[in-house]
Structure 1
Amino acid sequence: MTLQLTGVLVLIASPGDTQQERASVREAINNWNINSGRRMGVALLPWLYEHSAVPTLGDRPQAIINSQAVDRADVVVAFFDSRLGTDTGVSVSGTAEEIQRAHALGKPVHVYFSNEDVPREADLDQQVALRDFRQGLQDSGLLGDYNDPQDLAGQVVRALAA
């Protein structure tokens, strides 16, 4: 039997040191779709650049991601571990640019920061940049914290289902 569902495109935005978090959030969204989405008539569609971006020439990489994901997304979920990410020439990082663009477009944006211990080999400059970025966001709304990838995934699903 065919079921009509409303699709909600969820951009998962984060720097490169969050592979475990990205996998946990994607799995939790997929589980929510199976366990609750059908009953509610909603399908949460996670957009992760490593799975969804289409290689295209003609603009800087972040601008292409913005047009393929940020501009089309219904909601953005962003999270950080110990890195802010790489400067795009427009913003301090790709993830920061995605957050700022989505917010400027009036889209819901949920931002989380890790409480996990910072690895010994972590880049100190990245930690300082991340701290400064977080402080800059604090006047824009309520920020979340997470203790591990599973904690983050649970919080993200609760935010999306609210």
Structure 2
Amino acid sequence: MPQKGTIYRILIASPSDCVKERSAIPETIYSWNSVHSFHTGIMLEPVMWETHVIPELGNRPQEIINNQIVDSCDFLIGAFWTRMGTATEEHVSGTAEEIDRLRNQGKKIFLYFSSAPVVPESIDPDQYKALVEYKKSLRGQGITFEYSNIGEFREMLQRHLSSLMASITKENGIAEPEKEGKIENSQIEMFKSQIETFLRKLDARWVSEKDSGPHNIEDAQYIISSSLDDLINYRSQIVSDPENKLLPIFSEATKIMKELGRHQLYMDGGKSFQEFWEKGDAAIELLKKLPLALSN
């Protein structure tokens, strides 16, 4: 049945080095939608220049972006790592201009700074200096957060976004159907569907790589590491597990997947190579218990 609702547009702002963040932010937003949009009547729309801006001439590029997408957004989520971004005529970067523009309009701004390790040779000294100076300029003007890896960023953003939307729904008189941390059946089904989709993709990628006759484990380790970020994101959405059915599965699978990420091959007649694939199979089989646990 069609349902009327309210759309909040969230601008995703970051320099070009925050590739993982620009993927994690909309995923987190969509995750909130899948769990909360039906009963709140609220839908969050992630807005990015690469998906929402159309060709236009007649003004400076950033001003065109401002007019097309920035001014119509309700919130901004910004992330920085080692770069400040390309300077505009009026600001140290386009990202900074977007932040200031929405701040001046009194809109919510979430800013995050990554402390993740980086290869020193890949850093642009001028860009990094500009970023440090910009970060210093924000002192005393509000609260920003730092994260050390993309998994921590996902968890942090999930909490902050949930807190913001809980405040908004309360202000609008929208009653949350959740009580004492328990999720309604419809929400559990949404979460279960997300997990099943995640597992199908992981299983397909893993089996495809395993059946390709690989001579090393590098590509498989990438599959595991990228899936681990998603797994941590799903784990962060569990606010209550009274029967202790879900968290042990997440914990054990996470442990195995982290071990796989550190796994090394030795000249042992293929023993360590075979062990890697067996542990990977075990982790995936363990994760396949999640949908069943959610059904009971």
Task: Specify which structure has the bigger relative contact order, considering alpha-carbon pairs within 8 angstroms and separated by 6 or more residues.
Answer: 1
- Alpha-carbon distance between aligned partners in 2 of 1:71 and 1:116, rounded to the nearest angstrom: 31
| Counterpart residue type for residue 141 of structure 2 | S
Query: CA offset at residue 153 of structure 1?
Result: 3.0
| Counterpart residue type for residue 15 of structure 2 | P
1:73 aligns with 2:73: yes
Query: CA offset at residue 117 of structure 1?
Result: 1.3
- 1:44-67 per-residue CA deviation (whole Å, 9 max, x = no partner) reads 100011111111111111101111
1:155 aligns with 2:159: no
- Alpha-carbon distance between aligned partners in 1 of 2:126 and 2:142, rounded to the nearest angstrom: 25
Query: CA offset at residue 37 of structure 1?
Result: 2.0
- From the CA coordinates, give the structure whose radius of gyration is larger: 2
- 1:125-162 per-residue CA deviation (whole Å, 9 max, x = no partner) reads 11111010000011210011122223223323332332
Structure 2 counterpart of 1:109: 109
Structure 1 counterpart of 2:146: 145
1:5 aligns with 2:5: yes
- Alpha-carbon distance between aligned partners in 1 of 2:8 and 2:158, rounded to the nearest angstrom: 13
- Alpha-carbon distance between aligned partners in 2 of 1:83 and 1:22, rounded to the nearest angstrom: 14
Structure 1 counterpart of 2:124: 123
1:95 aligns with 2:95: yes
Q: What runs of 5+ residues in structure 2 fail to find an aligned partner?
A: 165-296
Structure 2 counterpart of 1:41: 41
SS in 2 for 1:8: strand
Structure 1 counterpart of 2:193: none
- Alpha-carbon distance between aligned partners in 2 of 1:140 and 1:160, rounded to the nearest angstrom: 20
Indicate the percent of aligned positions where both proteins have the same amino acid.
Answer: 38
Judged with a 3 Å threshold, the aligned counterparts in structure 2 of structure 1 residues 39 and 147 are, in CA distance, closer, same or farther, namely farther
Higher strand share: 1
- Alpha-carbon distance between aligned partners in 2 of 1:154 and 1:103, rounded to the nearest angstrom: 25
1:50 aligns with 2:50: yes
Report the TM-score when normalising by structure 1: 0.94
- Alpha-carbon distance between aligned partners in 1 of 2:52 and 2:63, rounded to the nearest angstrom: 15
- Alpha-carbon distance between aligned partners in 2 of 1:103 and 1:110, rounded to the nearest angstrom: 11
SS in 2 for 1:138: coil
- The 8 Å contact of residues 24 and 150 in structure 1, kept in 2 or not, is answered as no
Report the TM-score when normalising by structure 2: 0.53
- The 8 Å contact of residues 5 and 41 in structure 1, kept in 2 or not, is answered as yes
Aligned length: 162
Q: What runs of 5+ residues in structure 1 fail to find an aligned partner?
A: none
RMSD: 1.3
Query: CA offset at residue 119 of structure 1?
Result: 2.5
- Alpha-carbon distance between aligned partners in 1 of 2:141 and 2:53, rounded to the nearest angstrom: 28
Structure 1's consecutive aligned runs of 4 or more residues displaced over 3 angstroms after TM superposition are: none
Higher helix share: 2
Judged with a 3 Å threshold, the aligned counterparts in structure 2 of structure 1 residues 116 and 109 are, in CA distance, closer, same or farther, namely same
SS in 1 for 2:139: helix
- Alpha-carbon distance between aligned partners in 1 of 2:114 and 2:48, rounded to the nearest angstrom: 19
Structure 2 counterpart of 1:16: 16
- 1:61-117 per-residue CA deviation (whole Å, 9 max, x = no partner) reads 110111122211101111101100010111000000111111111111111100101
Query: CA offset at residue 40 of structure 1?
Result: 1.9
